[in-house]
Each structure stands twice: as C-alpha cells, then as structure tokens.
C-alpha cells in the first residue's frame, strides 16, 4: 500500500521495496514481489519506449525459464520460441555441433530476446496494478543502514518526491546510482580486462540455424538469432579499435571470411557498438537495506550468454528473501543474499572466462602465441569428443549445474 502525503509541493510516500531501474533485474524483482502481494515502486530514468527497444541478450536459459515457471509467470513473461539446445562451433570452417541441453526434466531454454522479455515483464507488472515510474531523475538514497531507507527523485514533471521503504533493490546496471550510495571501502571490486574488443552489429538478416561461434586465423566471430529476421553478429577486434574503422562492407567481408560462409546473406545494419570485454564483481552485493541486483553488482563477458540470466537469478533470490521477511519476519535469506548470489556469479564468471579464452586463443589472433593456441584447441577438442565434457558444458550453459 502506498500512502501519499503532501510535502514541499511533491509527495512523501511509503512502500515496502523501492526498485531502482527497469531492466531485466528490476522488472523481474517487481513482478515476483507482485506475485507475493508485496508493495513496490519501480523508478526508471529512461522512457518506456527506450527501455522496451534495448536489444542485448537473446536466450533465457533453462534455469531462468524454470524460475519463471515456478512463480506461475512463464507463459505471461516469456516470448520467443523454444530453443533446440544445439550450438555450432565452426573451427577453421569445420562444423562441430554441441548440445547444451542437459537432458533434465522440465521446461527448457527459450530464444527470447531481452527486449521482448522486458516488454512482457513491463506489460504484466502494469496489468497487475504495479507502480512503475519512467523518466525519473536525480535519484538519491539515504538511511540505508536504518530500517526505513529514504529514496528521493525528481519526476518527469520536475516535482521532487520522497519514498520511505523497508528495502531498496539497486537494479540500475553498472552505471547507476545505487552502488555509488555505498560508502567507500565497503565493497571490493574484482575487475578483469580480457584485452579484447568486440564489434557487435544487429542486422535485418537471416538468423543462423543454431547459435554459431567461429574460430579462424583472422579472429573470433559469432552469429546469433535475435528474431525470425534478425541477427546479432560479433567480431573480435584489436583492443583499441574504433567503430569508424568498420564500414558495412568490411563488416560483411570479415564475417564471411571468419564464419567460413561466402554465401552469408547481409542486410541493413540497425545498430552497432564496440566494447571491451571486461568482467567485474562487487562483493558483497548488499549494504544495510540496499541489495544490488544484476549488472549493478557484476558485469560478465558476453561469452556464454550469462549476464541477463545472472540478473534474473539475483532477482529470484532477492524476491524470495523479501517474501520470507514480510510473511514470516525471517531475515535468514536476506542476510544470506550476497553469499548465495555470489556463488553463481563466480561459477558463471569462471565459465565465461574459460570460453572466452578457448575461443579467442584457438584462433591465435590475440598475440597470445602458439602455446596458448594449442591449449585452447585441446580444450575445444575435449568438448567436441568427450560426452562427459559435453555434459558438464551443457549443465553450465543451462544454468542447472548449481541447482
């Protein structure tokens, strides 16, 4: 229940949880709390249209599909189509198909682009009467170590508002304000720069039959489905390369060469971005009544498709912990939030690091030398030939490895 009191021309309100950010993490927290009948207010600095179009991840992994299913939300919030669980690795033009289905019972991963998930989470939350405020500015947090933190923000019409709450969910990504509200010295940042950049483009071009990773002497490339007529491509670049150095013709020539597919059908490029592969974990993921969820707490190299899925995992354990507290006055799960979330975060960091090294070193385009090239090719060979190695890989890809 949110009660409003006039104050300084704005309003002062009270709720149980204030969620900062309406990305996959914040919207999942909000929907799960709604399922438990727990009040929350979501504050998002961008417009609804902007958030709904932001294209990034493409697969909701098996564990996350089952998580939504366990809350009775899977049919409402998961769009896209079931995924056949086959990945293609193309090494110097030779195809190796690897299953990332672990064979366990229950619903499996879905090809559900991030923007579709965000659109559906938004629609479901609003349809259930949820409170979601777009285009807010100047969000600030106070009293995080008290049992009634205070969140202030400026609404789209310029009016200042104050919300008192029991918990703050910091779901505002790597560049948000939540983490900066934590005093210096409380969090430890574990950062790693992979020394690799990627150019990524979205294009209106036919998706591949299976998500495709390619190793070649010219460097790593990948081709992933993002809808019936849309693809996302990745190209490894020198660490300090610039997007201007990649006109469309160079992008398509490089993709045809590295994917060993001279007939690759091109299409209009609708978005392009160059970014450095980096990984970052903040520990702990909690300060007083502030809980960091998703990218606000950790960034992971896109290799392995874990970033959004980790955000969904954090959201699930945070929402269950708040439910225990509100329903039973039991704070055990809240106190264990950081430790529990970080176990999976480090597990997936290890996997992503392993896959990043294997697929870049195997092409030997990073200057890492012939020794690391041999090691990386041995790793891939084991994955392609050992059923046990393939099974372990599938368990981590599906996210069911840690239960």
What element of type H or E holds 167? Answer: strand 167-170
Site for ligand FAD, residues 224 to 283, rule: CB under 6 A: 273
The residue (of 59 and 259) whose beta carbon lies closer to ligand FAD is 59
Q: Does 290 bind ligand FAD (CB under 6 A)?
A: no
By CB under 6 A, tell whether 113 contacts ligand FAD. no
Query: Helices 307-328 and 24-35, interaxial angle, to 10°?
Result: 30
Give the contacts of 264 (CB within 8 A, at least 6 positions apart): 223, 252, 255, 256
- Taking the least distance from each CB to ligand FAD, the nearer of 364 and 398 is 398
Question: Is residue 311 at the binding interface for ligand FAD, with CB under 6 A as the rule?
Answer: yes
Q: Quick one: 60 or 264, whose CB is closer to ligand FAD? A: 60
How would DSSP label each residue in 214-282? EE-TT--EEEEE-STT-EEEEEEE-TT--GGG--HHHHHHHHHHHTT-TTPPP--EEEEEEEEEEEEEE
Task: Tell me the two tokens of residue 354.
Answer: 């392993």
Size of the site for ligand FAD (CB under 6 A): 34
Tell which one of 19, 32, 40, 51 touches ligand FAD (CB under 6 A).
51
Binding segment (CB under 6 A) for ligand FAD, from list 51-59, 90-98, 105-113, 144-152: 51-59
User: Binder to ligand FAD among 17, 33, 38, 43 (CB under 6 A)?
Assistant: 43
| Minimum CB distance to ligand FAD smaller for 10 or for 24 | 24
| Contact in structure between 21 and 170 (CB atoms under 8 Å) | yes
What lies within 8 Å, CB to CB, of 234 at 6+ separation is 198, 199, 200, 220, 221, 222, 224, 302
List Cβ neighbours of 235 (8 Å cut-off, separation of 6 or more).
198, 199, 200, 219, 220, 221, 246, 251, 254, 255, 258
What tokens were used for 172?
A: 């505002």
Residue 153 β-bridge partners: 161
Minimal distance, residue 53 CB to ligand FAD, in Å: 11
Return the residue of 34, 56, 210, 379 that touches ligand FAD, per CB under 6 A: 56
Q: CB of residue 236 vs ligand FAD: minimum separation in angstroms? A: 14
Stretch that binds ligand FAD, among 11-19, 50-58, 81-89, 324-332 (CB under 6 A): 50-58
Among 10, 24, 149, 207, binds ligand FAD (CB under 6 A): 24
Residues in contact with ligand FAD by CB under 6 A are 20-26, 43-46, 51, 56-58, 114, 136, 139, 171-173, 176-177, 200, 273, 294-295, 302, 305-309, 311
């Amino acid at each position: 229940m949110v009660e409003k009191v006039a104050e300084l021309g704005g309003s002062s309100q009270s709720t149980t949880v204030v969620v900062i950010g309406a990305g996959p993490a914040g919207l999942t927290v909000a929907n799960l709390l709604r399922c438990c009948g727990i009040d929350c207010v979501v504050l998002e600095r961008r417009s609804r249209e902007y958030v709904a179009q932001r294209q990034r991840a493409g697969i909701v992994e098996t564990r996350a599909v089952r998580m939504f299913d366990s809350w009775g939300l899977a049919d409402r919030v998961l769009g896209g189509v079931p995924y056949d669980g086959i990945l293609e690795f193309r090494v110097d033009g030779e195809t190796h198909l690897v299953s990332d289905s672990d064979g366990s019972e229950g619903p499996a991963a879905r090809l559900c682009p991030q923007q579709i998930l965000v659109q559906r989470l938004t629609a479901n939350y609003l349809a259930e009467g949820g409170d979601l405020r777009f285009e807010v500015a100047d969000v600030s947090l106070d009293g995080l170590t008290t049992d009634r933190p205070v969140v202030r923000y400026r609404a789209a019409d310029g009016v200042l508002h104050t919300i008192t709450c029991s918990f703050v969910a910091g779901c505002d990504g790597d560049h948000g304000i939540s983490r900066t509200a934590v005093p210096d010295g409380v969090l430890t940042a574990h950062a790693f720069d992979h020394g690799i950049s990627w150019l990524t483009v979205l294009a209106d071009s036919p998706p591949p039959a299976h998500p495709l990773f390619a190793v070649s002497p010219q460097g790593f490339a990948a081709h992933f489905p993002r809808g019936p007529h849309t693809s996302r491509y990745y190209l490894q670049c020198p660490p300090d390369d610039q997007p201007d150095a990649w006109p469309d013709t160079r992008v398509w020539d490089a993709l045809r060469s590295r994917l060993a597919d001279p007939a690759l059908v091109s299409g209009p490029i609708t978005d392009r971005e160059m970014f450095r592969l980096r990984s970052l974990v903040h520990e702990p993921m909690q300060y007083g009544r502030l809980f960091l969820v998703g990218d606000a707490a950790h960034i992971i190299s896109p290799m392995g498709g874990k970033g959004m899925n980790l955000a969904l995992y954090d959201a699930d354990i945070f929402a269950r912990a708040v439910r225990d507290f509100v329903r039973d006055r039991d704070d055990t799960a809240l106190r264990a939030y950081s430790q529990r979330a970080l176990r999976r975060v480090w597990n997936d960091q290890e996997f992503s690091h392993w896959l990043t090294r294997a697929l870049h070193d195997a092409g030997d385009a990073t200057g890492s030398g012939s020794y690391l090239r041999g090691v990386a090719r041995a790793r891939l060979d084991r994955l392609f030939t050992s059923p046990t190695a393939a099974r372990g890989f599938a368990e981590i890809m599906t996210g069911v490895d840690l239960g």
